[in-house]
Amino acid sequence: MKNIDILELSLNSLQHRKLRSWLAILGIVIGVASVISLISISVGMNENIKSTMSGIGADVITIGSGGERAGSMGPSGFGGGPGADGRSSFGWTSSSEITFNEADNLRSVQGVSELDARVSSNAVVRYRNMNKSLSVVGVEAAAFPKSSSSTIAKGRSLGEGDTYSAVIGASVQSDTFNDTMLNKQININGVSFKVVGVLNESGASFSGPDNSVFIPQATAKRLFNQTKYVSSIVVIAASEYDPDLVADSLAIKLRSLRHVTNSTQDFTISTATTLQSTISSVSDTLAIFLGAIAGISLIVGGIGVANAMFTSVLEQTKFIGLMKSLGARNSVVMKLFVLEASMVGFTGGILGVLLSFLGSILLGAFGLPSKITLELVLLGLGFSVIVGVISGLLPAKNAASIEPVEALRYE
């Protein structure tokens, strides 16, 4: 029997069992849509993180105190403010803090182009009649244009001669105080500062530069009464050096300065590459977790198809007997039911893909990043057909093995 004729018979069977066929298809639709949607969320998140990370710059190296601490969250893109190194909120008490002396010693490491030893703290910022608690970061004026993940949108950057000047993040102007603040006065912990520049939006998360106020390092030291320890160090690697190698050199130097070994290291040092791989591994784990959850629903859908196929075989037992009495080989009967199941899987796959596109739009509307790639579509379709075929195999094998005389007697 020609495959096209077997296909026609399978289609005919599905058409005459519409409700059951659609219910089986629905199971696959939900399974495939879940798989694609959930994985697309992790793909979207990954893309989002990558695009945010691209703003950090590949040449940026961040050093923070503490072993496996939040300092690894990175430079100004993530850690322009005090929340980023996880320290300021809890005070300045740890003996494992990195000192300004140590920071100065790192400037001589080969491959270091700029070094920005930062002092940061949360402070009450007053503008007109509004008081807001914001992250205030003391930066080195010379290094700041490069160590900041945002460029100047209006005004200028901090200069060497500045004392009570401030550069504010985009959100400080647009959201926190909602006013044009360039050249206006702000008050930090009772000290007056002039806003000389406003940064572009970085798009980084809550603790990024968008919500921070940047002032000269020397002023910050006095303001926060912190002259010994840095909050974090942002190093810019020279363009002719590999940032990862520079980071290694910095780590070696700092370990020797602090008399610690690799295993007792009490600071973290990270580059864009290490950050990216850390985040990627987290998002990959998330993708596997979400995929596994979605996979379960696809398996449940597959069981639905198998159930529908078993019922279909039972319903068509007499027809199987007839086909065999007319000379159909076992392989033809088998193909008939496997094709029927694959069509259920394939139709479910197509509809599931369409539903996942709809779901992606909805997720986007709720602010959840999701991205459906061609690979995901193919994975969904392939998976649905495979689930259909596997679900149909056993019922089809059963159908093919029925003796014609028994099948014809079936009521």
Closer residue to another protein (CB): 4 or 365: 4
* Residue 54 structure tokens: 């691209």
Residue 53 region by backbone torsions, left for phi larger than 0, else alpha for psi between -120 and 50, else beta: alpha
Closest contact distance (angstroms) between CB of 355 and another protein is 29
Closest contact distance (angstroms) between CB of 6 and another protein is 9
Interface pick for another protein out of 223, 230, 332, 372 (rule CB under 8 A): 332
Closer residue to another protein (CB): 5 or 179: 5
Closest contact distance (angstroms) between CB of 348 and another protein is 22
Residue 13 makes contact with another protein by CB under 8 A = yes
Closer residue to another protein (CB): 8 or 375: 8
Q: Within 261-320, which residues bind another protein (CB under 8 A)?
A: 318-319
- The CA distance from 150 to 169, in Å, is 8
Closest contact distance (angstroms) between CB of 324 and another protein is 7
Interface pick for another protein out of 48, 265, 330, 373 (rule CB under 8 A): 330
**Residue appearing with tokens 């985040």:** 279
Closer residue to another protein (CB): 24 or 32: 24
* Residues 6+ away with beta carbon under 8 Å from 232: 62, 63, 64, 71, 75, 79, 84, 85, 118, 120
**How far, in Å, are 46, 50, 275 from residue 279 at the CA level?**
8, 9, 6
Q: Within 371-410, which residues bind another protein (CB under 8 A)?
A: 403-405, 408
Interface pick for another protein out of 327, 365, 366, 367 (rule CB under 8 A): 327
Closest contact distance (angstroms) between CB of 45 and another protein is 49
Interface pick for another protein out of 68, 239, 326, 367 (rule CB under 8 A): 326
Residue 342 makes contact with another protein by CB under 8 A = no
**How far, in Å, are 11, 135, 345 from residue 5 at the CA level?**
10, 72, 20
**Residue appearing with tokens 């959850």:** 293
* Residue 196 structure tokens: 């000389």
CB burial of 53-66 (b: ≥16 within 10 Å; e: otherwise) equals bebbbebbbbbbbb
Closest contact distance (angstroms) between CB of 17 and another protein is 9
Among residues 84, 92, 318, 294, the alpha carbon closest in space to that of 202 is found at 84
Burial of 40: CB neighbours in 10 Å, binned 0-12, 13-18, 19+: buried
Closest contact distance (angstroms) between CB of 406 and another protein is 9
Question: Could you give the angle at the alpha carbon of 159 between the alpha carbons of 154 and 163, nearest 5°?
Answer: 105
Which range, of 180-188, 283-291, 323-331, 379-387, touches another protein by CB under 8 A? 323-331
**How far, in Å, are 215, 245, 281, 318, 358 from residue 86 at the CA level?**
20, 26, 22, 73, 39
Interface pick for another protein out of 329, 354, 358, 364 (rule CB under 8 A): 329
Residue 18 makes contact with another protein by CB under 8 A = no
Interface pick for another protein out of 12, 110, 133, 151 (rule CB under 8 A): 12
Number of H helices, E strands in the chain: 14, 10
Closer residue to another protein (CB): 322 or 368: 322
- Give the residues lining the site for another protein (CB under 8 A): 1-2, 5, 9, 12-13, 15-16, 318-319, 321-332, 403-405, 408
